[in-house]
Structure 1
Amino acid sequence: MQPRVLKVLEFNKVKDKLATFSASSLGKEKVAQLTPATNYEEVVKRQLQTDEAATVLRLKGEVPLGGITDIRGHVKRAEIGGTLNTHELLDIAGTIYAARKLDRFVESVLDEDISIPILKEYMDQLIIYPELERNIKNCIDEYGEVLDGASDKLRGIRQQLRSTESRVREKLESMIRSSNAQKMLSDAIITIRNERYVIPVKQEYRNSYGGIVHDQSSSGATLFIEPQQVVDLNNVLQEAKVKEKLEIDRILAELSAEVAEVARELLENVHILAEIDFMFAKAKYGKHIRGTKPEINNEKYIRLVQARHPLINEDEVVPNTIELGKDYTSIVITGPNTGGKTVTLKTLGLLTIMAQSGLHVPAQDGSEVGVFNAVYADIGDEQSIEQSLSTFSSHMVNIVDILKKVDHDSLVLFDELGAGTDPQEGAALAISILDEVYQRGACVIATTHYPELKAYGYNREGVVNASVEFDVDTLSPTYRLLIGVPGRSNAFEISKRLGLSMEVIDRAKEFVSEDSNKVENMIASLEASQKRAEEEWREAEKIRKTSQQLHEDLEQQMHELNEQRDKLYEKAAEKAEKMVEDAKEEAEKVIRELRKMRIEQHANVKEHELIDAKKRLEGAVPTVKKSAATKKQEVSNQTLEPGDEVKVMSLNQKGHLVQKTGDKEWQVQIGIMKMKVKTKDIQYVSRPKPVETKPLATIKGKDYHVSIELDLRGERFENALMRVEKYLDDATLAGYHRVSIIHGKGTGALRVGVQNYLKNHRSVKNYRFGEASEGGTGVTVVELK
């Protein structure tokens, strides 16, 4: 794609907006390098990447991409033997942590059975180095200072430093507190000059203290003297500082060597993290413009449904449906200025480039975009004073260049084709240029003023006319694109609306040729027909929706009537059954009496006759078949509980009950979806067996490990307190008597919150800040009961 075309179509502005959704400089760099792909498979792959990221954002809301840093320079320097400083090493540790955090997130997404093959492939290539991250953070604090615990030697050196420094200050403080100090010192303070402790002595008393003069005040009245008594101690202090620096340099060199060992893998990680950041930046931008994934085809066919220009305010932009490349490959848009022709042209070109770049496009679902090897555009007035080119000449320079390169894999956009010269010659040139581009098999959209081109689409196969609608009543364009209808002059109607007399207008009409009048009348008729067709379509759509609603209402009524009928049948059958039961009881009574009579009065009644009579009575009892509604009611009578496996009858899908949301309603989870379903639409399937719970001691047995430290740095306040509560319970169960909570220094809010929580905790016996060797005020040491 030509850079000039990308600029004319304002793709750079789209990229600028896209860059704001990147989480790191790596993602922004990928955005800056973005250009449209011309290979069909590559375009499909890019769209799948963006769509997968959009799916994750829709289901999870956000992706943890914070902490990713461009560490390529640091890693390459370490690879060639350089020693990294503390901040560079922290950047590397932070990027490893970001990769580890992203890896956990992707695992959680996969656990929910969400299909993310592209993201999974990226994460499979990512190599996490938690040990390197841990080594760096164990040696360097969040402010870039090397910790005492980085090595035993450094701890010893710093202890010596603090001890010697304390002795120096003690000696100097005794000097400035002496009885003569007020007279001999300019001020009773201890200060530092040339990294050595000194006191400010008045010029006239310089010999009273001996030692070394390191500096003097601007007036010369005060000398900064290192007294002889502390010279040796200051020397010891300086030697310790040199040792400290050497040890720090050794530690940083050792850490840099660890980075160098995995340099290639870290660089590959950076590349993968950049791709993932870029992938989600595209998805976030698509969400911002309410974009959709277009279907990609290799047939050079474009169908944009209700497409919007992404750089025009959503409240102002007018959506248009644009189709090109199937029934016709050329569109000629005619009509007056400021009607929206150029915007339509730019929308088609920009959305095609966006789609080929892997971006979602601001159009409705069902849109399609073909893959073109090149998009050419001649849009806008590019006259050049330096080159003495007129508007027409500058357009012709572009058009000549386009005609040299255009082929059947090209999309060409001409704005005001043939403008800037004699109308008759300009129209002839425009027709000839359009014919040339059409014969080469390219797809083309052109806008023009020339009335001669209004009939162009009627004379040539594969070409269609179009226009932008103009409302004569309001004297303003509606910006709606009318495919199949050429633009017409509205001069007479506008003049009439503005008050020009009909006499003048009628006289003007006499000067217009009969052919022009016929064309204008034909166009007016086409516009009216299209408007009528659209109104009829809207009316038909309204009727269709009403019919659909009526159909659904009738189905519901029929369902209710069937249920009512079944209930009536059952009620009648129950009544008949009761009547027969009553008759049976009466018959049994009669038979008993007959037997009694036979025995007592020797009546001539045979036993088999009595049995036959009884069988006939039993055969008269109706067998009542229960309706489907009754069976369903029996199922409904089953007591439902959260966790039950059920079947949603209307969807014919199985799921699990989550919770009851009303008297006759449950929340049901089907796959990854949760929905509210009426109780009558639920069929009970099964109930999971209760899980045997084990005592906590059994769950957290000897193999369960609890660390003696809890690191809260970087945590939000609420999450930190939740982790402290769980950690204290685990530590108590593990039998620990003392643990450390690392909250860092920072603003102090987290430290105060943690200690306020510890005050009232049932398991806490006592707590205190850590010693200097334990982390100082950045750590709270807790004693447990």
Structure 2
Amino acid sequence: MNIQSRLDLDEFVDNFKNYFARTKDISMLGDDKRHFEYINELAKYDFILPTHTQDLTDTINRLTKFATLDSSSIFEIVKIIRYFMYLKSTNFSNLLNTWFSKILIPKELLDITYFFDTKKPEFKDDIDPKLQDIASSISRLKRDIISTYEGILQSSNLREYLIDRQIYYIDNKECLLLRGGFSNVLKAKVISRSSTGYFYVIPDKIKDITNKIGELTLKKEDILFEYRKTISKTLNKHLLFVKYINKEFDIFDHYQARVMFAKSKNLEFILPNRKSKKVVLNSFKHPALKSAVALDITLDSSIMLITGVNAGGKTILLKSILGAVYLASFLLPLPLNADKSDIGYFKEIVPILDDPQNIKNDISTFAGRMVEFSKLFNKQDILVGVDEIELGTDSAEASSLFKSILDELSVHNKIIVTTHHKKLASLMSSKDNVQMIATLYDEKNRKPTYRFLEGTIGKSYAFETARRYKIPSHIIDNALLLHSKKEDNLNHLIEKNIELETDLKKKKGFLNKELKQVNKLKLQLLTEKKEQKQSFESLISSYQTKYQKAINEAKEAVKQKSSKDIHKQIAVANASLSKITQKNQENKNNQKNTEFKVKDIVKYRNTKAEILSIKKNKILLSCEGMKLSVSPDDISKSHSKEKPKSIISYEKPKNAFIKLDIHGLRVNEASMQIENFLNDALLAGLEEVYIYHGIGSGILANFTKELLENHPRVVSYDDATPSMGGYGATVIKL
């Protein structure tokens, strides 16, 4: 049994193979990183899939020997050439376009593609006048056959011999079904008899016409043979290119099959990390399970020891980790969250899962296991999975033996082990390079949860499992009486330990979430403080410049000789001071206007609104039936205490646009522009708008998406399509 079967991946892989244009193995030769880049790039496009194509190995071998190919073999090569002509004409990105532009198809081979029908392996008649004449003659003769049959069927002499008026096909020949005695009225040849004793016959008139068609067909074949002969010579001349394009087609077939399989099953790609031996799976589901619980697990130690409830998912966890590594090694898409997952690179995957007992070879279960382990000691950088390691021998001796084996193998390899050996688990739990994983059991509902807890030893729940699988109660009760008090106390301690670990895990998760939120707020406050400081410094510098200018103008006035000039310069200085004073007064008025409270009635543009909440520099308004998030500078106090009524009609802004460009803006500047932009769009009744923030370091992009996430009127948002800006733009549904 191969690795694929042992890990229960046969059905998944076979399903994937159906997406190939032609049958092949799932492995790809070459640079995995390069393949990964092409696959991800191709996944961004919609394209026409290649049609089913035959393997060209035999065809290429025949060309090597200067054989004349048949029409079907030539057509398979034509299909590949035509498909690459399509790919070269498609508007792909630089990566794919560079690849396809390097494939230079010789003109002689391009000419061959015009000889064939688009879907069938047949030469077109219009490539040669002789073929056109023959095709025209055959069509005319076929019409003659139809008219001749119509005349025969209408004959009154033949009517009593006709079984029916149908035209039958026997051995691909048109014929009639007649009763005996028909020879008195019709000259014809019997070609078969029906089960009821009637005769299938071809009238002589029809036979003469079919003979003519046969002669024309032979002439056509002679002409086509010459074409096939010439084409075969041309293909032989360009044999190296045929081999090359055949190989390139296989590579593209690997890519498109993976892309289409991933899209159809909602799967994701992950590139094995050759610098790591760590395995992190997030939201992974084993493909063989129909309703699996999403798995989050990290293998970052040399040994992972899985203990716990029977039929609780220990083997599933083992096969999931090995299966994910196996599929990722072939760049096959996986059912997981690729952004939060990481899969290291291993030279080999070794699953030791089955009972190796073999009567014919005189191998016991334990002996078979020892044979499998003995093959591993000279290997490095491999991933080993062992299911039920204690299988086949005394548990006390096995614990010491397997601890020693695992210690040796873990020096250069990663090992995942499932076991019910509490002694082995106890011996291994004190080691720094061992992860302890326990499968959890639902005591209340008396069934496994198929979830896992890290850092503890799990209880087997053998009696509970036996009861779940309908073992008679009196048998289980007797077993409980035989079970030692010491073992029972140990199991009780294990249960308490699991409960404490579970509770601590929940609290840790809650605290981590709170800490993340606090750090986020802290960072936001520091950013705002820094921006305000810069703003104040800029404002002070501006005022200092203006005051200095006014002073200089006053001094200049004193130097003037004439009273008229003095008064003129003083007037200029007073004007400058007046502007500064006026600006300060406006700032004071604005500061007063920003002293708002919840439920205040304010004026927003030409509309009255009610304040719903105030958060830092953002105010949430209820404005004419809509919720708007605005800056305090955009509103002023209203003297009216009456709450605004929600009405359908409102004045749409004249400056509403569907696009906003915030390239080069600071976060606070971008925030105000985005809020005003969204408010205008909402008032204008727009349902979809675009914000262009660019890619850069990602600060503006992340800030934009964070703001959209918390906006009350944003339905959804996503990266724009490549034609609309790709990752450098965000499309928003309102």
Q: TM-score, normalised by structure 2?
A: 0.63
Task: Indicate conservation of the 8 Å contact 1:9/1:349, yes or no.
Answer: yes
Alpha carbons of structure 1 residues 280 and 505: separation in structure 2 relative to 1, 3 Å? same
Q: Which of the residues 17, 20, 44 maps onto 1:19?
A: 17
Where do residues 141-290 of structure 1 align in structure 2 (5 Å cutoff)? 142-158=119-135, 182=157, 203-204=183-184, 226=204, 240=216, 242-286=218-262, 288=265, 290=267
Note the C-alpha offset of 1:272: 0.9
CA–CA distance in structure 2, aligned partners of residues 451 and 239 of structure 1: 87
Alpha carbons of structure 1 residues 550 and 246: separation in structure 2 relative to 1, 3 Å? same
Alpha carbons of structure 1 residues 396 and 607: separation in structure 2 relative to 1, 3 Å? closer
- Counterpart of 1:355 in structure 2 is 328
CA–CA distance in structure 2, aligned partners of residues 472 and 490 of structure 1: 10
Deviations 1:386-423 (A, max 9, x none): 45655444434433444xx4433232222221233333
CA–CA distance in structure 2, aligned partners of residues 527 and 86 of structure 1: 71
Letter in 2 for 1:266: V
Task: Indicate conservation of the 8 Å contact 2:310/2:460, yes or no.
Answer: no
Task: Indicate conservation of the 8 Å contact 1:286/1:360, yes or no.
Answer: yes
Letter in 2 for 1:536: K
Secondary structure, counterpart of 2:250 in structure 1: helix
Of all paired residues, the percent bearing the same amino acid is 17
- Counterpart of 2:612 in structure 1 is none
CA–CA distance in structure 1, aligned partners of residues 129 and 517 of structure 2: 83
CA–CA distance in structure 2, aligned partners of residues 294 and 168 of structure 1: 65
Note the C-alpha offset of 1:512: 1.2
Letter in 1 for 2:390: G
CA–CA distance in structure 2, aligned partners of residues 421 and 612 of structure 1: 113
Alpha carbons of structure 1 residues 273 and 670: separation in structure 2 relative to 1, 3 Å? farther
CA–CA distance in structure 2, aligned partners of residues 109 and 193 of structure 1: 52
Note the C-alpha offset of 1:672: 9.1
Note the C-alpha offset of 1:274: 1.2
Letter in 1 for 2:391: A
Where do residues 380-399 of structure 1 align in structure 2 (5 Å cutoff)? 380-387=354-361, 389-399=363-373
Task: Indicate conservation of the 8 Å contact 2:348/2:381, yes or no.
Answer: yes
Q: Which of the residues 619, 639, 642 maps onto 2:573?
A: 619
Task: Indicate conservation of the 8 Å contact 1:318/1:479, yes or no.
Answer: no
Alpha carbons of structure 1 residues 50 and 280: separation in structure 2 relative to 1, 3 Å? farther
- Counterpart of 1:647 in structure 2 is 663
Q: Which of the residues 285, 309, 315 maps onto 1:336?
A: 309
- Counterpart of 1:291 in structure 2 is 268
Where do residues 397-546 of structure 1 align in structure 2 (5 Å cutoff)? 397-402=371-376, 405-438=377-410, 440-488=411-459, 511-512=485-486, 517=489, 523=494, 526-544=497-515, 546=517
Note the C-alpha offset of 1:537: 2.2
- Counterpart of 2:617 in structure 1 is none
Q: Which of the residues 61, 77, 86 maps onto 1:101?
A: 86
Secondary structure, counterpart of 2:440 in structure 1: strand
Q: Which of the residues 352, 358, 375 maps onto 2:349?
A: 375
Deviations 1:212-243 (A, max 9, x none): x7558969999977589x98x99877765543
Aligned residue pairs, count: 594
Deviations 1:652-688 (A, max 9, x none): 99xxxx999655885245669999999xx9xxxxxxx
Task: Indicate conservation of the 8 Å contact 2:306/2:418, yes or no.
Answer: yes
Higher mean alpha-carbon deviation, 658-667 vs 539-548, is at 658-667
Note the C-alpha offset of 1:383: 3.6
CA–CA distance in structure 1, aligned partners of residues 130 and 168 of structure 2: 29
Where do residues 28-43 of structure 1 align in structure 2 (5 Å cutoff)? 28-31=23-26, 34=27
CA–CA distance in structure 2, aligned partners of residues 173 and 448 of structure 1: 82
CA–CA distance in structure 1, aligned partners of residues 286 and 655 of structure 2: 54
Q: Which has the larger radius of gyration?
A: 1
Letter in 2 for 1:375: I
Task: Indicate conservation of the 8 Å contact 1:339/1:478, yes or no.
Answer: yes
CA–CA distance in structure 1, aligned partners of residues 309 and 173 of structure 2: 84
RMSD (Å) for aligned C-alpha atoms: 5.9
Secondary structure, counterpart of 1:420 in structure 2: coil
- Counterpart of 2:627 in structure 1 is none
Deviations 1:119-150 (A, max 9, x none): 45643553435764554444547555544422
- Counterpart of 1:603 in structure 2 is none
Alpha carbons of structure 1 residues 191 and 471: separation in structure 2 relative to 1, 3 Å? closer
Q: Does 1:319 align with 2:298?
A: no
Letter in 1 for 2:501: Q
Q: Does 1:128 align with 2:128?
A: no
Note the C-alpha offset of 1:337: 1.6
Note the C-alpha offset of 1:424: 1.9
Alpha carbons of structure 1 residues 307 and 420: separation in structure 2 relative to 1, 3 Å? farther
Letter in 2 for 1:667: Y
Secondary structure, counterpart of 2:287 in structure 1: coil
Alpha carbons of structure 1 residues 67 and 234: separation in structure 2 relative to 1, 3 Å? closer
Task: Indicate conservation of the 8 Å contact 1:334/1:466, yes or no.
Answer: yes
Note the C-alpha offset of 1:310: 2.7
Alpha carbons of structure 1 residues 79 and 430: separation in structure 2 relative to 1, 3 Å? closer
Alpha carbons of structure 1 residues 254 and 348: separation in structure 2 relative to 1, 3 Å? same
Note the C-alpha offset of 1:448: 1.6
Secondary structure, counterpart of 2:379 in structure 1: coil
For structure 2, list consecutive stretches of 5 or more residues without a partner in the other structure: 541-546, 551-559, 591-630, 634-652, 671-676, 708-734
CA–CA distance in structure 2, aligned partners of residues 153 and 410 of structure 1: 67
Task: Indicate conservation of the 8 Å contact 1:308/1:362, yes or no.
Answer: yes
Letter in 2 for 1:273: F
CA–CA distance in structure 2, aligned partners of residues 530 and 8 of structure 1: 33
For structure 1, list consecutive stretches of 5 or more residues without a partner in the other structure: 570-576, 581-605, 682-785
Note the C-alpha offset of 1:442: 2.6
CA–CA distance in structure 2, aligned partners of residues 543 and 220 of structure 1: 91
CA–CA distance in structure 1, aligned partners of residues 171 and 258 of structure 2: 55
Task: Indicate conservation of the 8 Å contact 1:330/1:464, yes or no.
Answer: yes
Where do residues 664-743 of structure 1 align in structure 2 (5 Å cutoff)? 667-669=690-692
Secondary structure, counterpart of 1:304 in structure 2: strand
Alpha carbons of structure 1 residues 623 and 563: separation in structure 2 relative to 1, 3 Å? farther
Task: Indicate conservation of the 8 Å contact 2:75/2:116, yes or no.
Answer: no
- Counterpart of 2:718 in structure 1 is none
Alpha carbons of structure 1 residues 243 and 425: separation in structure 2 relative to 1, 3 Å? closer
Secondary structure, counterpart of 2:227 in structure 1: helix
- Counterpart of 2:53 in structure 1 is 69
Task: Indicate conservation of the 8 Å contact 2:306/2:436, yes or no.
Answer: yes
Task: Indicate conservation of the 8 Å contact 2:284/2:295, yes or no.
Answer: yes
Secondary structure, counterpart of 1:533 in structure 2: helix
Note the C-alpha offset of 1:554: 6.9
Task: Indicate conservation of the 8 Å contact 1:408/1:441, yes or no.
Answer: yes
CA–CA distance in structure 2, aligned partners of residues 478 and 166 of structure 1: 74
Letter in 2 for 1:19: K
Task: Indicate conservation of the 8 Å contact 1:304/1:323, yes or no.
Answer: yes
Deviations 1:268-302 (A, max 9, x none): 21211111111232344455363342551345x21
Secondary structure, counterpart of 2:273 in structure 1: strand
Q: Which of the residues 39, 43, 56 maps onto 1:53?
A: 39
Deviations 1:7-40 (A, max 9, x none): 3223444422321333x01xx4132xx38x9xxx
Alpha carbons of structure 1 residues 121 and 392: separation in structure 2 relative to 1, 3 Å? farther
Task: Indicate conservation of the 8 Å contact 2:310/2:465, yes or no.
Answer: no
Task: Indicate conservation of the 8 Å contact 1:18/1:281, yes or no.
Answer: yes
Alpha carbons of structure 1 residues 639 and 134: separation in structure 2 relative to 1, 3 Å? farther
